[in-house]
């Protein structure tokens, strides 16, 4: 039987597509992987890219035998990418990763021991208090943190003047009082990031709890009923009573900043990037140390770190690069917020008016955020509980009891 | 046929086995899942979300597809192209634009309603726990209805014109033509579309995550959101447990589908 | 048809009103997206809100084309999407045809099991597929990405096509074979033309499934060389800031070509490749 022209054409087209695809696959599968002894692959987030490029040039001129291959990651994709690459054992040599996620990789045994990098040129004691400890297990340190920051109080000077408030609040009572004074039909005293990443909200909650009795041991929060209730009361009641905006439920961190820059929010606990942005726009912004129950209040530090996978192809090259990036001047130039090393904060860029309170907050009133995966697993529940109180559907006492019960169940067995 | 069979096995059998194997290696995760304080709430939300978004998308998709067959319209190709846009634009962008529109601070919907004196105070579309689940389901309908329109449009062209003609000669009304000619002809397409919509509803977190991240107070948290959060923190055993649960739910739908299509399927075996 | 138009003007008006309603529902968020893409950053969250920009700017578009990997990512997305659509159609047509036409033992259970495969959440498949693609040395390539995207298109498209073929009377094919053609001829001259609108819809479906997919695309495309559009969109968001103007401009850039192509392909979808079907 004969095959007609259209059939021939169709079969040919299908054959071409199939053969082309199979050809590429076979070509790739048989391709030998390139020699990597002189190459260091570094996954860099796009916001660090430009500065990182200059640093790499400097590094390569210092180490002519090494070539750095940079790969750009984005904030929304880095977590999945890194965890899958590490799980599959197909990792680059150096990765810029969030400190919050690093503990999980350490626990899975996926990171190389970097303790040897902490010599007299880079002593662990030069890092922010408690920082290297959170990245260590059994005396071995698995990361080189380079960026570290806390929140502090950011406020609108004009709105404060208009409301007749002399200076920033220094205690919870003043915070509440000032927020009430600032609130008008168009301005809200303060706002909370109840939308977006749940950990943004629980970070603030835990800050308040830590100021009042809750502690962090080995990266695990140890809650006290009283401090939890007070923190829930402070945050929840502010929304119920209307001096924190009801639209908090629709706001993430950047949403609050946008409202603040529209003069719609009087003050909030926010990051140094927000303060910088406002200052660049000549907005009447000022900053202060976060208020606590009866004086300066502690804030959790969060940041980014360099990690080297234990299966890195060029372990030595990665360590050389990590050590280079760990120098104070390089940390100072790469960080978007503050550097992880205290000696690096002397740089003039950290001494602007709006940044000084952040620097003081970091140096005197900060503690590394908990990084126990069991706490991370609890975050959605705590997040929902805070919102229930802000909706008025639960009392702070009930909320505190629920959180304590969950903490007992999930974190109870901690050492 | 052999390479096709192997590829099919890789693409369908392996995943199912991988899920079951992982989930069964750590049955502890199931108790964590079922004992969670908000488990019942999440299941209920998932049910409402799935029913509302699937029913809405089917209704609007059908309406649009039938509308575009109307003899009174011109330029139907262009209109059909425009209807497709919600399905073409990146999901994150669609959800973000809706979030802005519904915001109580700078949302145009509230702004216009206030200007028109319809309401005095902004409606909290996304922060009222009684409203939020329907609001996000509405956006899911918005993005998925074009898919239904596409499938139904394609199926409608398969109906020979003679059948309409015969119905007209028999004096059938528009509704009768729809019920006795159009509906039976696109039945299998409808079922496939519904099944696809159900899978999407049970696998999509982008819209909810962007618009409310499951809030307020878990009022819009559904299974995919929980799965996403477990995945984000690397809790693989919980991920597998939720995946098995989702498989079980989907399997129910497949069973219903198999029953509804029984006469058609029996030709196979 | 013009006859009935003259006879029932009320119905004509109602039809146009209904069309307008559906258009408003569909398009007004798109309108906001387009206008936002022309707004300077300071205007996007202005209170009170405005739909149109006060100061029109093309900066966002300049940014998309010069400062981001979006142009390259758009090309990647289209390549991956077309590969997926082509592979899906070729593969699913053969599989769907076999399921619809060949009577073999267990066809029914195979058919239903294929559907269940569709329902596995992607995050569970991530690691096994990653290892597989890594072994094939296809990480960070468009082909590797297209391969994993087949997992989200194949099961449903197989079913769509199976149903379409099952609806075509087998007597038509047999008639072609009696006329002296082979089975392949029967398929290419009889089955394919009748199934064309459904195949076009299925191809569009496969393309858009791949076009939207984020999780696999973000993990399997390690560097920018195989990065697709949804992932490139995240370049406009840093940890503390999202450049919404550029994000919206990028989505306009992404959407326009696809919509144009879709409108151009209309006639195959609605189209009258079959006997006496009504022109759209």
Helices (H), chain B: 2-8, 14-25, 28-35, 39-67, 76-88, 91-102, 108-115, 132-157, 161-169, 174-177, 183-185, 187-203, 206-211, 223-232, 236-260, 262-266
pLDDT the model gives residue C278: 33
Cβ contacts of C245 on chain A, cutoff 8 Å:
none
**Which residues in A lie closer than 8 A to residue B90 (C-beta atoms)?**
none
Lowest mean pLDDT among A154-158, A283-287, B44-48, B103-107: B103-107
**B10 DSSP 8-state letter:** I
In whole angstroms, what is the distance from residue A64 CA to residue A66 CA? 6
Region C104-111: mean pLDDT is 73
Helix (H) or strand (E) holding A221: strand A220-222
User: Which carries the bigger pLDDT value, residue A347 or residue A278?
Assistant: A278
Percent of chain A residues topping a pLDDT of 70: 97
Each residue's pLDDT tens digit, A79-96: 889 999 999 888 899 999
User: Are the beta carbons of B197 and B148 closer than 8 angstroms?
Assistant: yes
Q: What is the pLDDT of residue C151?
A: 85
Chains that touch B (3 or more CB pairs under 8 A): A, C
Other CB atoms within a 10 A radius of the CB of residue B59 amount to: 13
Location of structure tokens 């991530």: C126
C47 touches chain A (CB under 8 A): yes
Contacts of A123 (CB under 8 A, 6+ apart): none
Asked if C210 contacts C146 with a C-beta cutoff of 8 angstroms, the reply is yes
DSSP β-ladder status, A267-270 and A152-156: antiparallel
Segment A70-75 mean pLDDT: 90
- Tens of pLDDT, residue by residue over C154-172, are 888 988 888 888 888 888 8
Nearest CA in chain C to B79: C23
Q: Tokens for B84?
A: 């497709």
The DSSP H or E segment spanning A304 is strand A299-307
8 Å CB contact of A391 and B216:
yes
ipTM for this model: 0.86
Region of poorest pLDDT, from A1-15, B232-246, C253-267: A1-15
Q: Which two structure tokens, joined as six digits, stand for A384?
A: 């929902």
Q: Which one of B37, B104, B215 has the shortest CB-CB distance to A194? A: B215
What is the nearest CA distance from B193 to chain C, expressed in angstroms? Answer: 9
Question: Could you give the CA distance from residue A169 to residue A76 in angstroms, rounded to a whole number?
Answer: 35
pLDDT in tens, B51-94: 999 999 999 999 999 898 887 888 888 888 899 999 999 888 99
Q: What is the DSSP string of chain C?
A: -HHHHHH-HHHHHHHHHHHHHHHHHHHHHHHHHHHHTTS-GGGTT-SS--SS-SS---HHHHHHHHHSSHHHHHHHHHHHHHHHHHHHHHHHHHHHHHHHH---TTHHHHHHHHHHHTTS-HHHHHHHHHHHHHHTT-TTSHHHHHHHHHHHHHHHHHHHHHHHHHHS-HHHHHHHHHTT--HHHHIIIIIHHHHHHHHHHHHHHHHHHHHH--HHHHHH--SGGG--HHHHHGGGB-SS-B-HHHHHHHHHHHHHHHHHHHHHHHHHHH---SSSPPP-
Interacting residues of A301 by C-beta distance below 8 A, sequence separation 6+: A128, A131, A148, A149, A150, A362, A366, A367, A368, A369
Helix (H, G, I), strand (E, B) or coil at A56: helix
C208: closest CA among B90, A2, B149?
B90
Which helix (H) or strand (E) is A285 found in, with range?
strand A285-288
pLDDT over 90 percentage in chain A: 75
Smallest Cα distance from A212 to chain B, Å = 25
Q: Residue B268: what pLDDT?
A: 46
pLDDT-derived band at A34, boundaries 50, 70, 90: low
Which domains, from first to last, does chain C contain? 2-57 (no CATH), 69-274 (1.10.3720.10)
Residue C7 has a pLDDT of 61
Which residues does residue A291 pair with via DSSP β-bridges, in sequence order?
A: A296
Calpha distance B141→C7 (Å, rounded) = 36
Q: Show the beta-strand stretches assigned E in A80-160.
A: 94-98, 136-137, 140-141, 144-149, 152-156
> Among C234, A53, A38, C149, which residue's Cα sits nearest to residue B92?
C234
For A355, the 3-state DSSP assignment is helix
Query: Which residue in A50, A94, A404 sits closest to A224, CA to CA?
Result: A404
The DSSP code for A31 is S
pLDDT of A340 reads 93
Q: Give chains near C: 3+ CB pairs under 8 A.
A: A, B
Report how far residue C163's alpha carbon sits from residue B189's, in angstroms, rounded to the nearest whole number.
8
DSSP A265: B
Model confidence at A273, pLDDT cuts 50, 70, 90, reads very high
- As given in the structure block, the two tokens for residue A74 are 């984005």
Axis-axis angle for helices A355-364, A272-280 (nearest 10): 170
In whole angstroms, what is the distance from residue A10 CA to residue A17 CA? 11
Q: What pLDDT does C5 receive?
A: 47
Chain C residues in contact with B98 (beta carbon < 8 A) = 29
Tell me how far CA of residue B206 lies from CA of B74, B95, B110, B202, C53, in angstroms.
36, 8, 24, 12, 28
* Contact state of B77 with C270 under an 8 Å Cβ cutoff: yes
CA neighbor of A190 nearest in space, from A277, A133, A257, A110: A257
**C32:B101 CB<8 A:** yes
The alpha-carbon gap from C214 to the nearest alpha carbon of chain A, in Å, equals: 9
Q: Six-digit token pair at A3?
A: 């095959």
Contact (CB, 8 A) for B121 and C60: no
Confidence class for position B14, pLDDT limits 50, 70, 90: confident
For the stretch C224-273, pLDDT in tens is 889 999 999 988 888 788 899 999 999 999 999 888 888 888 776 665 43
Q: What is the mean pLDDT of chain B?
A: 85
Neighbours of A396 (CB within 10 A): 20
Comparing B78 with C118, which gets the higher pLDDT?
Answer: B78
β pairing state of A39-45 and A94-98: parallel
Tell me: pLDDT of C276 over 60. Answer: no
SS3 state of residue B123: coil
pLDDT of res. A150: 94
Note the pLDDT of residue C273.
Answer: 39
Q: Write down the pTM of the prediction.
A: 0.89
Say yes or no: C225 contacts chain A, CB-CB below 8 A.
Answer: no
Residue A226 DSSP SS3: helix
pLDDT at position C119 over 50: yes
Percentage of the residues of chain B whose pLDDT score is greater than 90:
25
pLDDT of A76 strictly over 90: no
- With an 8 Å Cβ cutoff, are C244 and B97 in contact? no
Judge whether B96 is closer than 8 Å to chain A, CB to CB: no
**Best A186, A254, A384, A410 residue to mutate vs chain B (most B CBs within 10 Å):** A384
Are A380 and B229 within 8 A, CB to CB? yes
What's the whole-number average pLDDT of chain C? 84
Closest residue in B to A107 (Cα–Cα): B234
For all residues of chain A together, what is the average pLDDT? 91
């Amino acid at each position: 039987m004969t095959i007609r022209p259209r059939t021939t054409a169709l079969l040919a087209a299908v054959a071409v597509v199939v053969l082309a695809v199979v050809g590429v696959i076979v070509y790739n599968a048989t391709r030998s992987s390139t020699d990597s002894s002189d190459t260091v692959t570094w996954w860099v987030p796009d916001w660090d890219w430009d500065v990182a490029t200059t640093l790499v040039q400097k590094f390569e001129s210092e180490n002519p035998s090494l070539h750095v291959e940079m790969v750009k990651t984005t904030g929304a994709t880095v977590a999945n990418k890194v965890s899958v690459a590490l799980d599959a054992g197909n990792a680059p040599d150096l990765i810029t990763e969030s400190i919050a996620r690093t503990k999980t990789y350490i626990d899975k045994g996926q990171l190389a021991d970097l303790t040897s990098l902490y010599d007299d040129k880079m002593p662990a004691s030069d890092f922010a208090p408690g920082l290297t400890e959170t990245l260590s297990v059994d005396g071995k340190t698995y990361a080189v943190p380079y960026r570290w920051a806390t929140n502090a109080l950011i406020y609108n000077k004009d709105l404060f003047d208009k409301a007749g408030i002399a200076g920033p609040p220094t205690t919870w009572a003043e915070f509440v009082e000032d927020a009430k004074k600032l609130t008008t039909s168009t301005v809200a005293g303060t706002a909370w990031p109840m939308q977006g990443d749940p950990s943004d909200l629980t970070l603030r909650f835990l800050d308040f709890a830590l100021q009042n009795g809750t502690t962090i041991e080995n990266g695990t929060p140890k809650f006290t009923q009283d401090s939890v209730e007070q923190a829930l009361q402070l945050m929840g009641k502010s929304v119920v009573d209307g001096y924190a905006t009801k639209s908090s439920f629709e706001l993430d961190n950047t949403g609050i900043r946008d409202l603040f820059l529209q003069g719609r929010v009087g003050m909030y606990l926010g990051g140094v990037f927000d303060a910088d942005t406002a200052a660049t726009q000549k907005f009447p912004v000022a900053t202060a140390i976060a208020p606590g129950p009866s004086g300066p209040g502690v804030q959790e530090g969060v940041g980014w770190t360099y990690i080297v996978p234990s299966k890195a192809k060029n372990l030595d090259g990665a360590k050389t690069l990590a050590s280079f990036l760990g120098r104070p001047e390089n940390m100072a130039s790469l960080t978007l917020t503050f550097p992880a090393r205290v000696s690096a904060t002397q740089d003039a860029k950290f001494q602007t008016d709006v940044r000084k309170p952040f620097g003081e907050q970091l140096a005197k009133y900060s503690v590394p955020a908990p990084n126990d995966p069991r706490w991370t697993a609890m975050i959605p529940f705590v997040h929902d509980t805070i919102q229930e109180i802000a909706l008025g559907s639960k009392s702070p006492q009930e909320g505190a009891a629920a959180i304590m019960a969950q903490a007992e169940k999930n974190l109870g067995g901690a050492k | 046929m052999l390479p096709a069979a192997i590829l099919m096995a890789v693409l369908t059998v392996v995943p199912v086995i991988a899920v079951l194997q992982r989930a069964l290696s750590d049955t502890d995760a199931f108790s964590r899942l079922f004992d969670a304080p908000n488990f019942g709430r999440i299941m209920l939300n998932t049910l409402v979300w799935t029913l509302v978004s699937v029913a809405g998308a089917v209704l609007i998709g059908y309406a649009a597809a039938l509308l575009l067959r109307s003899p009174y319209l011109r330029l139907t190709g262009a209109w059909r192209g425009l209807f497709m846009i919600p399905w073409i634009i990146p999901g994150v962008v669609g959800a973000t634009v809706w979030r802005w529109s519904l915001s109580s601070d700078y949302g145009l919907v509230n702004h216009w309603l206030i200007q028109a004196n319809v309401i005095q105070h902004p409606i909290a579309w996304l922060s009222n726990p009684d409203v939020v689940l329907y609001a996000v389901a509405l956006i899911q309908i918005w993005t998925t209805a074009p898919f239904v329109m596409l499938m139904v449009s394609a199926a409608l062209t398969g109906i020979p014109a003679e059948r309409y003609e015969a119905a007209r000669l028999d004096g059938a009304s528009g509704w009768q033509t729809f019920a006795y000619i159009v509906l039976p002809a696109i039945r299998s397409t409808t079922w496939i579309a519904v099944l696809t919509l159900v899978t999407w509803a049970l696998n999509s977190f982008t819209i909810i995550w962007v618009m409310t991240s499951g809030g307020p107070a878990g009022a819009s948290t559904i299974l995919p959101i929980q799965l996403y959060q477990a995945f984000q923190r690397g809790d693989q055993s919980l991920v597998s447990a939720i995946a098995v649960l989702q498989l079980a739910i989907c399997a129910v739908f497949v069973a219903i589908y198999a029953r509804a299509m029984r006469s058609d399927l029996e030709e196979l075996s | 048809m013009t006859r009935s138009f003259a006879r029932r003007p009320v119905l004509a008006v109602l039809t146009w009103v209904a069309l307008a309603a559906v258009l408003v529902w569909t398009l007004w968020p798109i309108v906001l997206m387009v206008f936002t893409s022309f707004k300077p950053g300071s205007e996007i969250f202005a209170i009170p809100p405005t739909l149109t920009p006060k100061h029109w700017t093309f900066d966002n578009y300049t940014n998309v084309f010069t400062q981001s990997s979006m142009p390259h990512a758009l090309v990647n997305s289209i390549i991956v999407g077309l590969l997926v659509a082509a592979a899906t159609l070729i593969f699913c047509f053969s599989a769907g045809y076999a399921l619809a036409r060949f009577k073999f033992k267990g066809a029914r259970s195979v058919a239903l099991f294929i559907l269940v495969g569709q329902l596995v959440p992607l995050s569970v498949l991530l690691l096994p597929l990653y290892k597989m693609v890594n072994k094939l040395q296809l990480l960070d390539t468009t082909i590797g990405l297209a391969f994993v995207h087949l997992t989200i298109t194949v099961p449903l498209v197989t079913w769509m096509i199976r149903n379409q073929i099952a609806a075509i009377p087998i007597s038509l094919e047999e008639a072609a074979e009696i006329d002296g053609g082979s089975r392949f001829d029967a398929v290419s001259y009889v089955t394919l033309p009748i199934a064309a609108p459904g195949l076009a819809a299925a191809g569009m479906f496969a393309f858009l499934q791949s076009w939207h997919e984020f999780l696999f695309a973000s993990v399997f495309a390690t560097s920018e060389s195989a990065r697709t559009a949804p992932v490139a969109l995240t370049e406009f968001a840093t940890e503390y800031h999202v450049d919404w103007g550029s994000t919206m401009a990028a989505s306009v850039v992404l959407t326009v070509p696809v919509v144009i192509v879709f409108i151009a392909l209309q006639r195959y979808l609605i189209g009258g490749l079959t006997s006496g079907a009504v022109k759209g």
